[in-house]
Structure 1
Amino acid sequence: MSTRRATVLLPYLTPYRLPFLRHLDHELACRGVELTVAHGAATGLSAVRQAAAGPALPGAVPLRQHVARAGGRELIWHRVGRLARESDVLVLPQSLHHLRLYPLLAHRPRRIGLWGHGATHVSAHGRSAQWAKAALTRRAGWFFAYTDTGGAYARTAGLPPERITVVRNSLDTTALVAARRRVTPEAQDRARQRYGLTPGRTGLYIGGLDELKRIPFLLEAAERIAARVPGFRLLVAGDGVQRELVERSSVAVYAGRADDDGKALLGAVSDVMLVPGAVGLCAVDSFALETPLVTTPWPYHGPEFGYLEHARNALVAPDEQYADRVAELLTRPRLSAALRRACRCDAARYTVESMAARFAHGIEGLLTHAT
């Protein structure tokens, strides 16, 4: 029997995706499917967030791309070439501005899978764009939804439930949990001395330092929390165009970029995670670090916001109450302990191992549908 071939096309490679892709390659190999990962290059805000040196994935195929702007939006054409001819199925981003998607869906939709959020989360789309996105989703042979909400979107768009796979988008929580457990009390003491931290009085932010994350609001909230909780400080890890705001803050301590070991140490000395802006995979970070997240009901959260359950594994507070809710959490050890227990439980629920197995099962379904 000839080897079946599947290609997954990503807009660009990110470090956090590599564990998932390695697990997916293994899962598909066990099913007799050869995986090819193809990718473009980061542009715009994504390029700012990326490290100077991109991650490496042996065997990945870099694609030539052309970028243009129209109507204030970025349009990207990836030159897929022979991959489109030699692959039995292709999985592409569910994105209106990735132009290569249109001819592929027009000519052989049964062999095309879409991977995405479902509804648009981090920006506002007009009715025409919403209609176009639903039409593209409905035409695909298969839909790989980040979360349950995305799966519901695909059903509403008209795709049969049997051609929808909810993958439960995640980070490598297994590695992050292990890193967190390796942090010693001595390492925690050194970190607290380095950053001037008081036990029980530390907040943590990990992520991009840009408009989507509401950094000015975050820093203002930190000042209000410090006024109510003496000794409070906010650790900030990440990078972006608003990094200077953090470095100028009297309450925040900039800790640079953080890998898993860095995140683990910061989580070990922190009591609460503050993310008032767009919540995405930081929700999974909070679970693995056992550092409960406090956010707001902002309209532009990522799909992973759906993993949060108010008063069980996180707190969701309106803007005007945000600082007060964080301050109260810092002074209510029983509530904090309950949230941490739920985080610990959910870290085992959202893993790249499970995500890869779900994705591989969906690709098998797409291969069957394509024949």
Structure 2
Amino acid sequence: MVQPYIPQYRVPFFQRLAGDLHDHGVLLTVAHGRPTGSQARRGDIGALPGAVPLPQHAFRLGGRTMLWRRLGDLAHHCDAVVLEQALHNLEAYPLLASARLRGGPAVCLWGHGRTYGDRPTAAERALKDALTRRADWFFAYTDAGARHVVRGGLPAERVTVVRNSVDTASIAAALARITPGQVLAFRARYGLTAGRTALFLGGLDAPKRIPFLIAAAELTARRLPGFRLLVAGDGAHRGLVEQAAARPGSPVIRLGPVTDAEGKALLGAAGDVLLMPGAVGLAAVDSLALSTPMITTPCAAHGPEFDYLQHDRNALIVPGGEAEFADEVVSLLADPGRLSALRRAAREDARHYSGEVMSARFTGGLLRLIGTGN
């Protein structure tokens, strides 16, 4: 399995997948490059024992960063190689073009299915669909991604939906260990008021709409005394958060990156809602696992995991600008019954998205692929 790099949140998944495959006599090797661009600025590189670092070369072509990772003999001594579905990963092209011709390993792609966030050109969409059709198997993050590649010509029997997730079991276990005393101490440390605390968990970069987040928090605080927004994350827009937090009377509190299960659990126990006006990705899983309903917008460059959210069931999806967003935050925090209903639904829906579910689905797809001799 070839990855751009190994973020901390993926380490438990790779360890679980290696164990599940080993139970069926299959050895998993994870190879990886180095993070670039916004990935590098997030500072979330994880350590995976046994992972193989790959020589990586990056260069610009037509305004896009292209990456070439040299696999060496790795791809010649395996039954299957799993690559990220991305046009900028050049190692995929020769493998997809020649695997069937020279009897090489089965080539699988793992990804969104369609392009999220950016707006690809017609030529880019056509090229991505053509490459995907050449794959022996496709591992889709979500049902919507699977439907897209099937519409693009890949047979449905060669597609597995993995339900992309984080290690929710660790979050659940950490939540169970949180004591009332810990929550009280945390609230006292940051001057938090129960029922008036919001969270942000994620990268501090342009797709997350950090200026919108700050403006909405300030509007909320004007109407709801004691309201605070805890910002956990890092990235290129960290300075905006630092400036907001430094203003006298600001409701914004910058915590820095929080990636471990214990840290997320304490935030979930002390917070009431999770604010994400920008791009929603795996933060949707965090929201469900923490039973902390998300308030988001429909117009951001969301990732595939946005599909896990249902308006007025486990989340609120609010159209409009900062004022409308703040209105919904105030309205929800002023309605404990509605907030409790959203929490219950989030807790129920979290069962469908976990590292265990994701690994089992991935394992099933790989075993079917290897077993059919593709």
Q: Same fold (TM over 0.5)?
A: yes
Partner in structure 1 of residue 350 of structure 2 = 347
Counterpart check, 1:334 vs 2:337: yes
Q: Find the partner of 2:16 among 17, 23, 37.
A: 23
Q: Find the partner of 1:174 among 169, 175, 179.
A: 169
What is the number of equivalent residue pairs in this alignment? 362
SS at match of 1:245: helix
Partner in structure 2 of residue 269 of structure 1 = 270
CA-to-aligned-CA distance 1:147-200 (integer Å, 9 cap, x gap): 111111111111111000000000000100111121111111111111111110
CA distance in 2, matches of 1:268, 1:29: 36
Partner in structure 2 of residue 159 of structure 1 = 154
Partner in structure 2 of residue 61 of structure 1 = 52
SS at match of 2:194: coil
Partner in structure 2 of residue 244 of structure 1 = 239
Q: Give the unaligned 5+ runs of structure 2.
A: 245-249
Q: Is the 8 A contact 2:42 2:203 kept in 1?
A: yes
Partner in structure 1 of residue 210 of structure 2 = 215
| 1:247 shift after superposition | 1.8
Amino acid at match of 2:231: V
Q: Find the partner of 1:113 among 108, 113, 116.
A: 108
Q: Is the 8 A contact 2:205 2:236 kept in 1?
A: yes
CA distance in 2, matches of 1:189, 1:247: 25
Counterpart check, 1:14 vs 2:3: no
Counterpart check, 1:44 vs 2:15: no
CA distance in 2, matches of 1:235, 1:50: 19
Q: Is the 8 A contact 2:277 2:300 kept in 1?
A: no
| 1:220 shift after superposition | 0.3
Match runs of 1:215-234 below 5 Å: 215-234=210-229
Q: Is the 8 A contact 1:16 1:171 kept in 2?
A: yes
CA distance in 2, matches of 1:55, 1:337: 35
Q: Find the partner of 1:92 among 63, 74, 83.
A: 83
Amino acid at match of 1:366: L
CA distance in 2, matches of 1:183, 1:286: 17
SS at match of 2:29: strand
Q: Give the unaligned 5+ runs of structure 1.
A: 1-7
Q: Is the 8 A contact 2:204 2:235 kept in 1?
A: yes
Q: Find the partner of 1:187 among 182, 185, 192.
A: 182
Measured at CA, do residues 220 and 299 of structure 1 come closer, stay the same or move farther in structure 2, by a change above 3 Å? Answer: closer
CA distance in 2, matches of 1:216, 1:299: 13
CA-to-aligned-CA distance 1:42-74 (integer Å, 9 cap, x gap): 0111000124xx322111111001100111100
Q: Find the partner of 2:230 among 235, 250, 255.
A: 235
Partner in structure 2 of residue 35 of structure 1 = 28
CA distance in 1, matches of 2:11, 2:227: 36
SS at match of 1:34: coil
| 1:370 shift after superposition | 4.2
Q: Is the 8 A contact 1:288 1:343 kept in 2?
A: yes
Q: Is the 8 A contact 1:113 1:366 kept in 2?
A: no
Partner in structure 2 of residue 4 of structure 1 = none
CA distance in 2, matches of 1:275, 1:343: 16
Q: Find the partner of 1:144 among 125, 139, 158.
A: 139
Q: Is the 8 A contact 1:292 1:339 kept in 2?
A: yes
Partner in structure 1 of residue 247 of structure 2 = none
Counterpart check, 1:362 vs 2:365: yes
| 1:365 shift after superposition | 2.1
Deviates more, 1:55-64 or 1:158-167: 55-64
Partner in structure 2 of residue 288 of structure 1 = 289
CA distance in 1, matches of 2:173, 2:165: 16
Please report the TM-score for the alignment, with normalisation by the length of structure 1.
0.96
CA distance in 2, matches of 1:126, 1:311: 34
| 1:369 shift after superposition | 4.2
CA distance in 2, matches of 1:33, 1:317: 46
Counterpart check, 1:202 vs 2:197: yes
CA distance in 2, matches of 1:202, 1:100: 46
Q: Is the 8 A contact 1:93 1:116 kept in 2?
A: yes
CA distance in 1, matches of 2:300, 2:257: 27
Amino acid at match of 2:266: L
| 1:245 shift after superposition | 1.3
CA distance in 1, matches of 2:35, 2:117: 17
Partner in structure 2 of residue 307 of structure 1 = 308
CA distance in 1, matches of 2:126, 2:193: 52
